[in-house]
């Protein structure tokens, strides 16, 4: 018998057992395939020194497939929460203290976001020389996030690629 590496051991319920973090944040129930976008929102880039565990397209009872991101020593700001909600409105945020979940909350879709998205309409006043911050109204339509530009009425579904980097 060949010994399995701990990090690839699969438990009875077919979940991948990755090592725990001591203190930090677990972002769970991320829409499948969006973990890398979440990392971008958190400012985790090549060359970073944080300890980060990522699982993509893992089986989930609630969602079919999901992504998970775990970051040691990281606490998520309100601004980061709003951005995560836009790409993954069902995500849950688990604060970890001494290896245990100390607090759990769901992200909440903000009704309005300012300065977080760019309007794809080139003629929109927010893309002119005027010093106007972008402003979008946010709604769920079915299971998709829909945002509408306050100034020009442009609608965007799943606004992932319009999130401005920080």
Residues that bind ligand ATP (CB under 6 A): 20-21, 26, 28, 68, 70, 92, 94, 96, 99, 101, 104
Name the strand (E) or helix (H) holding 24: strand 24-31
For ligand ATP, the closer CB: 20 or 144:
20
Instruction: Return the one option of ligand ATP, Zn ion, none that residue 30 interacts with (CB less than 5 to 8 A, by type).
Output: none
Instruction: Return the one option of Zn ion, ligand ATP, none that residue 94 interacts with (CB less than 5 to 8 A, by type).
Output: ligand ATP
Among 60, 90, 92, 121, interactor with Zn ion by CB under 5 A: 121
Cβ at position 133, least distance to Zn ion in Å: 12
User: CB within 8 A of 106, min separation 6: which ones?
Assistant: 90, 91, 92, 93
DSSP notation for 61-121: TTTEEEEEEEEET----HHHHHHHHHH-TT-EEEEEETTEEEEEEE----SEEESSB--S-
Instruction: Return the one option of Zn ion, ligand ATP, none that residue 41 interacts with (CB less than 5 to 8 A, by type).
Output: none
124 is a contact residue toward Zn ion (CB under 5 A)? yes
């Amino acid at each position: 018998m060949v010994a399995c590496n701990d990090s690839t051991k699969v438990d009875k319920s077919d979940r991948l057992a990755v090592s725990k973090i001591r203190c930090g944040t677990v972002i769970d129930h991320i829409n499948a395939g969006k973990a890398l976008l979440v990392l971008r929102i958190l400012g985790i880039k090549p060359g970073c020194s944080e300890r980060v565990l990522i699982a993509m397209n893992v089986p989930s009872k609630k969602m079919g497939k999901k992504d998970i991101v775990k970051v040691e020593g990281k606490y998520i700001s309100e601004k980061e929460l709003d951005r995560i909600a836009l790409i993954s409105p069902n995500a849950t945020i688990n604060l970890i203290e001494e290896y245990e979940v100390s607090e759990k909350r769901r992200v909440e879709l903000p009704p309005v976001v300012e300065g977080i998205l760019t309007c794809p309409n080139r003629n929109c006043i927010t893309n002119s020389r005027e010093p106007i911050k972008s402003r979008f109204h946010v709604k769920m339509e079915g299971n998709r996030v829909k945002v509408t530009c306050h100034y020009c009425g442009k609608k965007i579904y799943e606004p992932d690629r319009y999130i401005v980097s920080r």
